[in-house]
Chain A
């Protein structure tokens, strides 16, 4: 069965500083990987996705993520955070055998300080 681990429950970053959110997955083959962001009381917005090909993927709002098969990781990065980036971030994995189920990590809450 697939699983996702987000080791950091809460991260605090100064506005303008760089950001890296960690995500490790467990899956027997090449997974399909996603990052979603959720502002308080809102739905989830897709930031980016990895299916195959180039291991560095670009997303919306200036985010990028790198797929590293050797480390089973798909970390999310942003070179300079803005106060509006404060939110909950979820990494998710989906199997590639037609299974529609998406498995989420427990999430990382990002706080931005001035």
Chain B
């Protein structure tokens, strides 16, 4: 089973709201990722968690706050977003570590900021 699940599928939020995106995998993977994808563009890496520790932050604004409660779950907390943050947010996971491991992606959350 190579499934990564994401909730919600769609989210509309105002600029003053606080919301969270959730991602879950049960493949025993130890690396998890958040990507942002704008229309007609490739995914852009935001954060990487490796063994539940934040290992990469691609200079993402602080209005995006990741959290990895355990090895199966990854959250992205959103606060005071801007309309330009509207995008498809993708979660991915891989076995992690130093190996040659592929990333498996979830279906994404379509976020609209009004």
Contacts and interface: CB of A to CB of B under 8 A. Distances in A.
Interface of A: 32, 34, 36, 41-46, 49, 51-52, 90, 94, 96, 98, 100-102, 104-107
19 contacts: A34-B102, A36-B105, A41-B110, A42-B108, A43-B6, A43-B105, A43-B106, A43-B107, A43-B108, A44-B90, A44-B105, A46-B105, A94-B100, A96-B100, A98-B97, A101-B48, A102-B103, A104-B43, A107-B41
A94 B48 CA distance: 14
Interface of B: 2, 4, 6, 31, 33, 40-43, 45, 48, 50, 55-56, 88, 90, 92, 94, 96-98, 100, 102-108, 110
A26 to B, nearest CB: 16
A41 B43 CA distance: 13
A20 to B, nearest CB: 20
Contact of A41 (B41, B88, B105): B88
Contact of B100 (A32, A36, A42, A44): A32
Contacts of A107: 40-42
Contact of B56 (A43, A46, A51, A101): A101
Contacts of B94: 100
A49 to B, nearest CB: 5
A32 B88 CA distance: 26
Contacts of B106: 43
Contact of A100 (B40, B41, B96): B96
